[in-house]
Structures are given as structure tokens and as C-alpha cells.
């Protein structure tokens, strides 16, 4: 299973791209003109730096509970700079849209927390800073243990804004989703969210929301 964003658009489970895959290729910094061939991204096992070049904070709150705490993620800007820049600018909202105020729409205990759909809040929306969706930059970074930060998609080259944080080993996602960072602080907050009761579609019964987010000094 792949991680598809919850419905037709982005998923952590859909193995085939949707009918409209490629719609945003013209805006794709990796592909260029729509349909233009490109080299395959570096595969799993390729050399990686894993250097944390940037840090983003995510302050979470839950309806009926209040503040849950802060999660800080370190981003691999040397390994996947386009993917990292997308996440950073969506965290700051400098393009006029982004993660602040959006929810984590999918929580699966032992697997992932998924968010980033700031348009619809159900896994069918969101967009990148590049104008829509963009190509898989690299599969070289493995998902490894809990705490990996990775892009949700609807098949090859369909990255937008949706992301997930793993809460356990997920090696079957390697080669299907672009890992671009890891949790460096606040894994206890991630575990709080993991334990929240959910209902149909793995949606938390009480909404878990990104109250605020932004970029931190990476050297701190």
C-alpha cells in the first residue's frame, strides 16, 4: 500500500495515479513543459546527507482539549531542496496560503498522522508553491523508524501540500513517497495525537489543528 491522500487526490494507499495526474506538469520545476521526459529520481539506497538545514515548528491544538504542544521537524535541504522549500513556504504562508489553521485529517495508530490539506480538510485538496503538484524529487532517504516526515501523494509525481509523520517503521513506503525530514522535538506530542480516538476515514473525533507554524533557526 502507498500513502494516498485520503480520497481521489492524495493518498497513502492508492497505487495508481488519478485520471487527472499530470494536470499540473506545466508548473513542475522538475519536469518543465507538460509531459516532458525527465530522469528518474534517485532511488532508495542512494547516498544521502540527512543534514538538517532548516527547522519548522508546528503548534497543535485539539477541539475540547486546547493546546497539545509543539512539534519541531528538521528538514533535509541538501537531499531534497525543492520539497523542503515547498514545506517551508507553506509553513510561513508567504504565498498567501499554507498550513496554519488546517487540520490533521487522518490519524492511524501505529502508522501515520496525515495533514496538509488546507483547502478541503479531507485529503482531497491542497497545492504546492509551484502552482499545483510537482515531481518526486528523490526516494534516496528511507522512512526508517518513527518520526519520518514524508509527502503524501496520489501516485508518481503528484506531490502537493499533504504530508505525513510516521509513528512506526514503514519500509514499504520507500520508493513511493519522498522523505524530506524528521521530528527533532515533540515526539511526545505526536504520540498524543496518535492516541486520539478516530472514526470513519481515520478522522479524529475531535479535530486536531495546526494552531500556528513557521520557520526556526536551524542552528538552535
106 catalytic per annotation: yes
39 contact partners, CB below 8 Å, separation of at least 6: none
- Angstrom CA distances, 138 to 11, 94, 151, 201, stand at 18, 25, 11, 29
122 catalytic per annotation: no
200 contact partners, CB below 8 Å, separation of at least 6: none
114 catalytic per annotation: yes
Rounded CA gap, 24 and 188, in Å?
37
Spot the catalytic one: 24, 87, 111, 180: 111
Spot the catalytic one: 114, 134, 149, 159: 114
Strands 112-115 and 208-216: unpaired
Spot the catalytic one: 105, 133, 177, 182: 177
95 catalytic per annotation: no
111 catalytic per annotation: yes
Q: Cell 538538517 sits at which residue?
A: 52
Spot the catalytic one: 106, 133, 182, 203: 106
Spot the catalytic one: 173, 182, 203, 209: 173
Spot the catalytic one: 28, 62, 153, 162: 153
Spot the catalytic one: 75, 164, 182, 203: 164
Catalytic residues: 106, 111, 114, 153, 164, 173, 177
Amino acid at each position: 500500500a502507498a500513502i494516498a491522500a485520503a480520497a481521489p487526490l492524495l493518498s497513502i494507499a492508492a497505487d495508481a495515479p488519478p485520471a487527472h495526474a499530470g494536470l499540473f506538469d506545466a508548473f513542475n520545476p522538475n519536469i518543465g513543459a507538460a509531459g516532458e521526459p525527465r530522469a528518474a529520481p534517485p532511488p532508495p539506497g542512494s547516498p544521502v546527507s540527512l543534514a538538517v538545514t532548516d527547522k519548522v515548528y508546528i503548534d497543535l491544538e485539539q477541539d475540547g482539549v486546547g493546546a497539545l504542544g509543539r512539534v519541531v521537524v528538521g528538514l533535509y535541504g541538501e537531499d531534497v531542496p525543492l520539497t523542503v522549500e515547498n514545506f517551508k513556504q507553506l509553513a510561513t504562508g508567504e504565498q498567501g496560503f499554507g498550513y496554519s489553521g488546517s487540520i490533521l485529517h487522518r490519524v492511524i495508530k501505529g502508522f501515520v498522522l496525515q495533514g496538509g490539506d488546507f483547502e478541503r480538510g479531507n485529503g482531497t485538496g491542497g497545492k504546492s508553491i509551484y502552482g499545483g503538484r510537482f515531481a518526486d524529487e528523490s526516494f534516496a532517504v528511507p522512512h526508517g523508524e518513527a518520526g519520518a516526515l514524508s509527502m503524501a501523494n496520489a501516485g508518481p509525481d503528484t506531490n502537493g501540500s499533504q504530508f505525513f509523520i510516521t509513528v512506526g517503521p514503514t519500509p514499504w513506503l520507500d520508493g513511493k513517497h519522498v522523505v524530506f525530514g524528521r521530528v527533532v522535538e515533540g515526539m511526545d506530542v505526536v504520540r498524543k495525537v496518535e492516541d486520539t480516538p478516530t472514526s470513519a476515514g481515520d478522522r479524529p473525533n475531535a479535530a486536531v489543528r495546526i494552531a500556528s507554524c513557521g520557520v526556526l533557526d536551524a542552528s538552535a
